[in-house]
Amino acid sequence: MIHVGICISDTADFVILPKDITVKANGGSSIYGEKPVNPEFTATGLVNGETESILTDLYNDFSIDETTHAGIYILSVVGTFSNANYNITSYDTGTWIVNKRPLTIQALNDTIYYGQTPVLKYEIVSGNLVNGDVLSGALYVDSYEVGTHAIKQGTLTAGSDYEITFIEGTLLVWSIQDVFVDDKLSERSKNQFYFNTECGREEAKIYVTCYQCVKILIDTMEQNPYTVPLPNYGDNHVTLTVIGQNGDRESHTLTINKPIPFDQIVTMHCNNTITVVNNPANNGGFRFTSYKWFCNDLKFSENQSWTVSDEWWKSNDLFHVELTAEGYLGILRTCKSHISLKDMELKLYPNPVHVRQILHIRGDIEDDCLKNTVLEVYDALGRLIESFPLTKLQIPINNRYKPGTYIFIIRGKDGVRKESRIVVQ
């Protein structure tokens, strides 16, 4: 039933007029990068409990999505109005605001020495970039003189769709520049300097260069250069203190790594197996926990022991080991060293040999690997003919040897085993 309005005419006819209403596009806000929902529209003047749902074919021309740039947008009610009960007297617009996306960026603190060009870095600590947007521009520092300086936003931007909150960082410019050890430049990382000294060094001469400094202390001694002792294998730490013209005091650490003699902790077995000695009583007091073997500075093994192969070993190869040990925080390393293979070549001659002749042995039985060596002789059927300690280089072939083939086996230290077949005539 329709009851909008009643008018009484002179002829007593009833005329129902449409109700005047206004419609307004609803507004709102969103953040760039978010996809909001259409806010639709509101009608004012509806009666009988009716809602905007009866105003078919009307809609808010809302087209905002996650890619819409930050700004203010006017929304309108559009469409073809076909409801005879109402007459729209006003189409009011709405406002939608796409706010800038919040982004918090923090400059990363950095430290350089005077004359060095920093690579200023930053990180996003809150918020994120969307729609493939990227940051462009660069951070800015107003001075690279010795001292502390603020790292500012500079030209860094994400574009007009972002509201950046920038947290400044600090750039510390040190006056210390280079540290030389025995006239060789050390490596550095921030205020840490590192140097691997040569084998056999018991002390090291240190020289420090700096900019606009008035005093240099090397292990509390105001001398530059200054020679320090190296009492420990592994890391020896030296404190470097630099005082600038403005009175600022810088503290740095130089770590000098002293290598362990190769032969002190590495032993070659008679079967050409090389082992790191892990007995503190025999290696200088170390209990090692890891091993890294290097040949010509290329790592090839992490085992305590390995066996040298004639196939790849070369006499000019240089080997060293890097180790960790219980109660020791740094890296221990050995001196670089060549390795000589154990020559266990033993030659028996003449072959064939006659009964009542002497069988000679060519080899160094005084070598440590051949000490306490045992010679065993077996016939062709595997029966033991004789066994005795090898203490001389001549073996009499007596009457117990009948014509035939015999197997001479020499057993030595570390499982060394040499076998020869000798024909007795």
Over residues 357-369, the pLDDT tens digits come to 998 887 655 566 6
Is the peptide bond between 280 and the residue preceding it cis, with omega within 30 degrees of 0?
A: no
- Of 99, 125, 158, the residue at which a domain comes to its end is 99
Q: Is residue 2 part of a domain?
A: no
Token code pair at residue 324: 């960790």
The answer on 139 and 66 residing in a single domain is no
Q: pLDDT, tens digit, for every residue of 237-257?
A: 999 999 988 788 889 999 999
Residue matched to tokens 């890891």: 290
- Examine residue 58 and state whether it is found in any structural domain, yes or no: yes
**pLDDT score recorded for residue 4:** 47
Domain containing 18 equals 7-99
Asked if 166 and 142 sit in the same domain, the reply is yes
CA distance 333 to 391: 40
What are 238's two structure tokens? 């030296």
Residue 372 confidence (pLDDT):
74
Q: For residue 163, which of 277, 269, 275, 70 has the smallest C-alpha distance? A: 70
More confident of the two residues 311 and 46: 46
The mean-pLDDT minimum among 89-103, 163-177, 329-343 falls in: 329-343
The verdict on residue 1 lying in a domain is no
Q: Indicate whether 16 and 86 sit together in one domain.
A: yes
Please tell me the number of Cα atoms within 13 Å of 283 on its side-chain side: 19
Answer whether residue 399 is part of any domain. Answer: yes
Statement to judge: residues 128 and 182 lie in one domain: no
Say yes or no: 231 and 271 in one domain.
no
CATH code of the domain containing 215: 2.60.40
64: closest CA among 90, 92, 104, 26? 26
User: Looking at the DSSP assignment, which residues form a beta bridge with residue 275?
Assistant: 267, 305
Tell me if residue 152 falls in helix, strand or coil. Answer: strand
* Domain final position from 258, 282, 306: 258
370: phi then psi, degrees, rounded to nearest 5: -105, 0
Please indicate whether residue 372 or residue 26 has the higher confidence score (pLDDT): 26
Number of domains comprising the chain: 5
Confidence of residue 158 (pLDDT cuts 50, 70, 90): very high
Answer yes or no: do 229 and 243 share one domain.
Answer: yes
Query: How large is the average pLDDT for residues 3-28?
Result: 75
- In this structure, the answer to whether residues 201 and 245 fall within a common structural domain is yes
- The 10s digit of each residue's pLDDT in 254-292 is 999 999 999 999 988 777 889 999 999 988 899 999 999
> Looking at residues 413-417, what average pLDDT do you find?
68
Both 11 and 63 in one domain: the answer is yes
Q: Are residues 13 and 39 in the same domain?
A: yes
Q: What is the mean pLDDT of residues 78-90?
A: 91
Residue 236 inside a domain? The answer is yes
% of the chain beyond a pLDDT of 90: 64
**12 and 95 together in one domain:** yes
Please state the pTM of the whole predicted model: 0.61
170 and 107 in a common domain? yes
Residue 95 falls within a domain, yes or no? yes
Query: Could you tell me if residue 131 is inside a domain?
Result: yes
CATH of the domain at 411: 2.60.40.3580
- Main-chain dihedrals φ then ψ at residue 417, nearest 5 degrees: -140, 120
pLDDT interval class at 1 (50, 70, 90): very low
Q: Across the chain, what does the average pLDDT equal?
A: 89
DSSP string covering 75-132: E-EEE----TTEEEEEEE-EEEEEEPEEEEEEEPPEEEETTPPP---EEEEE----TT
* pLDDT of 311 strictly over 90: no
- My answer on whether 19 and 53 are in the same domain is yes
Please give the helix or strand (H or E) that residue 276 lies within, else none: strand 273-276
Please check whether residue 339 lies inside any domain of the structure: no
Q: Which of 284, 302, 333 is the last residue of a domain?
A: 333
Give the separation between CA 69 and CA 33, rounded to whole angstroms. 8
